[in-house]
Amino acid sequence: MDSFITTTPFFTNEHLALVKHLAEFTEREIEVRAGDDEGDADEALRSYVLLLAEHDLLRYAVASPGQPFDLRSFCIIRETLSYSSSLADLAFTLQGLGTYAISLAATEHVRDFWLARAASGRAIAAFALTEPDAGSDVAAIKTTARREDEAYVIDGRKRFISNAGVADFYTVFARTGTREDGRAEISAFIVSARMPGFSAAERTEMLAPHPIGELEFKGCRVPAEDVIGAQGDGLRLSLQTLDVFRASVGAAACGMARRALDESLLHAKSREQFGRPLSGHQLIQEKLADMATELDAARLLVYRAAYLKDIGAERSTREASEAKLFATEAASRIIDQAVQIHGATGLVRGTVVERLYRDVRALRIYEGTSEIQRLVIANQLLKES
Q: What is the 3-state secondary structure (H, E, C) of the chain?
A: CCHHHHHCCCCCHHHHHHHHHHHHHHHHHHCCCHHHHHCCHHHHHHHHHHHHHHCCCHHHCCCCCCCCCCHHHHHHHHHHHHHHCHHHHHHHHHHHHCCHHHHHHCCHHHHHHHHHHHHCCCCCEEEECCECCECCCHHHCCCEEEEECCEEEEEEEEEEEECCCCCCEEEEEEEEEECCCCCEEEEEEEEECCCCCEEEEEECCCCCCCCEEEEEEEEEEEEHHHEECCCCCHHHHHHHHHHHHHHHHHHHHHHHHHHHHHHHHHHHHHCEECCEEHHHCHHHHHHHHHHHHHHHHHHHHHHHHHHHHHCCCCCCHHHHHHHHHHHHHHHHHHHHHHHHHHHHHHHCCCCHHHHHHHHHHHHHCCCCCHHHHHHHHHHHHHHHC
Task: List, by residue number, the catalytic residues.
Answer: 367
